[in-house]
Amino acid sequence: MDNAKLIQMLPAITDANRGFWEGTLAGQLRLQYGDSGIAQFPEYPVDRVTLSDKLEWRAASGRATLWSWVVMHQRYFAAFADEGPYLVAFVQLEEGPFMMSTIVNPPEELECGLPLEVVFEKLSEDRAIPKFKVVNQ
């Protein structure tokens, strides 16, 4: 896959999401927290419960559950032009929020509820993306 094209598809690094992207480079999945103590992802300008703008990024456990998935055969994005079918996973993080990602080395048979853990793929000096792998049971 062409990393340069993939990087172009990612959101710009801003003051609001910098904590997340710095975390990925450090090998941490970070979630945003406000006064309510409830994890939020993606980032938001205020705590979604209290509406306070006092927010911080905290390291998450990295554990998740497979909630749903689809195997994409249509290549909608240039970054995937030379790829075969690819897996898009919808996972629920242990802390509560949902995230779209993919599963590395997925088993032949996937099922909802599979336990997952985060891994990171470094794309460049300033970008790494979270992916998930199935936890051996």
Domain boundaries, given as residue ranges, for the chain: 3-134
Single pTM value for the model: 0.90
Instruction: Give the tens place of pLDDT for each residue, 60-72.
Output: 999 999 999 999 8
Q: 4 pLDDT exceeds 90?
A: no
> 69 to each of 7, 24, 66, 96, how far by Cα in Å?
22, 22, 8, 18
Q: Which long-range contacts (CB under 8 A, 24 or more apart) does 84-93 make?
A: 89/116, 89/132, 90/66, 91/64, 91/65, 91/66, 91/67, 91/116, 91/132, 92/64, 92/65, 92/67, 93/29, 93/31, 93/39, 93/41, 93/60, 93/61, 93/63, 93/64
Q: Given pLDDT bands bounded at 50, 70 and 90, which one contains residue 16?
A: very high
Please name the helix (run of DSSP H) or strand (run of DSSP E) that holds residue 15, with its range, or none: none
Q: Tell me what pLDDT residue 104 has.
A: 95
Q: Tell me what pLDDT residue 95 has.
A: 98
